[in-house]
């Protein structure tokens, strides 16, 4: 990397660089992680898919849902970061974003019973802090989408919290604004995805303040932050295939690994099929080939 940028942070997938007092570069890698451990094998095209989908949704609801994203277009990033046009490896996986004061919550919206929420419900018959009907099965829809926040852990796993605890962390006004924004965006996405035969089971948003306005930050409605299902494969009580790293998860579950480094080597066929799932999600959602996105 020849750009003279100050590296701010590296996460499991993204790297953050300082541009100026008002802007940052967020670069999505092809890294793959599980149980907070990054695998040695990258998933081709993963970073471009995550960035392309975030751009798609931000533009889809521009003017209705505020966001920190400025641009993913290398030509529009160039004036902020001279020399960026020459950094071909970063094209299509980089977002120029406005700096935000992040809300210390993971804002999760759930439209259907799935994942850890289902596991807790199946084990206990209820979910603490939630008034749910009895007898629900895996993939069953809730009467209305649920806002279920969690903490944002610097290390380890986030912890689900109730709305009272969330309000104590950010204030009732901020929590109300976050709920309204996230539930509205979720409902818009559900309606949009239904047109292409995809069910949005749940998703996670990250919010922050930009000039006093609460906006959507980081990735938006991607396979890493959301559970997407093909509508024609959704049946009550059954686990449908999802547009994410499910092939990798299934393979990893069968391995004798203690969930600490070093991770097991991921076979080439698992890498290939996982990459294909990510690409298929992008193309199904946007209606465009990934080849048309920056960085091809």
**Ordered mean pLDDT values, 10 residues apiece, the chain (296 residues):** 85 95 98 93 98 97 94 98 96 98 96 91 82 92 95 73 94 97 98 97 97 96 96 95 89 93 96 96 97 96
CATH number at residue 175: 3.30.470.20
Distance CA(290)–CA(294), nearest Å, equals 8
Determine, yes or no, domain membership for 145: yes
Distance CA(186)–CA(225), nearest Å, equals 12
Given this model, what pLDDT does residue 217 score?
A: 97
262: preceding bond cis by omega (within 30 degrees): yes
Given this model, what pLDDT does residue 186 score?
A: 98
Which helix (H) or strand (E) segment is 111 a member of?
strand 107-112
Given this model, what pLDDT does residue 132 score?
A: 87
Given this model, what pLDDT does residue 156 score?
A: 57
> CA nearest 26: which of 102, 93, 107, 89?
93
Determine, yes or no, domain membership for 178: yes
Given this model, what pLDDT does residue 155 score?
A: 57
Determine, yes or no, domain membership for 182: yes
Given this model, what pLDDT does residue 154 score?
A: 62
Given this model, what pLDDT does residue 126 score?
A: 77
Distance CA(251)–CA(270), nearest Å, equals 8
Determine, yes or no, domain membership for 7: no
Determine, yes or no, domain membership for 174: yes
Determine, yes or no, domain membership for 201: yes
Residue 148 lies in domain:
102-233
Determine, yes or no, domain membership for 244: no
Segment 135-192, tens digit of pLDDT? 999 999 999 999 999 998 665 567 889 999 999 999 999 999 999 999 999 999 999 9
pTM of the complete model: 0.95
Determine, yes or no, domain membership for 125: yes
Q: How many domains does the chain have?
A: 1
């Amino acid at each position: 990397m020849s750009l003279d940028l100050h590296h701010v942070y590296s996460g499991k997938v993204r790297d953050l660089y300082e541009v100026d007092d008002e802007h940052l570069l967020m670069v999505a890698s092809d890294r793959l992680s599980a149980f907070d451990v990054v695998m040695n094998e990258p998933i081709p095209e993963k970073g471009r898919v995550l960035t392309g989908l975030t751009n798609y949704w931000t533009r889809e609801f521009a003017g209705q849902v505020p966001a920190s994203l400025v641009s993913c277009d290398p030509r529009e990033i160039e004036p902020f970061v001279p020399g960026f046009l020459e950094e071909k490896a970063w094209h299509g996986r980089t977002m120029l974003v406005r700096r935000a004061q992040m809300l210390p919550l993971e804002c999760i919206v759930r439209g259907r019973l799935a994942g850890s929420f289902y596991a807790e419900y199946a084990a206990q018959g209820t979910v603490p802090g939630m008034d749910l009907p009895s007898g629900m099965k895996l993939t069953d829809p809730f009467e209305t989408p649920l806002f279920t926040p969690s903490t944002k852990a610097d290390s380890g796993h986030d912890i689900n919290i109730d709305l009272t605890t969330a309000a104590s962390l950010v204030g009732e006004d901020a929590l109300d604004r976050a709920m309204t924004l996230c539930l509205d965006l979720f409902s818009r996405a559900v309606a949009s995805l239904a047109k292409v035969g995809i069910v949005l089971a749940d998703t996670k948003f990250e919010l922050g303040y930009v000039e006093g306005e609460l906006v959507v930050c980081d990735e938006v409605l991607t396979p890493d932050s959301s559970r997407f299902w093909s509508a024609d494969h959704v049946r009550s009580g059954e686990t449908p295939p999802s547009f994410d790293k499910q092939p990798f998860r299934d393979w990893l579950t069968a391995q004798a690994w203690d969930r600490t480094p070093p991770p097991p080597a991921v076979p080439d066929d698992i890498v290939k099929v996982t990459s294909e799932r990510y690409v298929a999600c992008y193309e199904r959602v946007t209606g465009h080939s990934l080849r048309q996105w920056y960085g091809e």
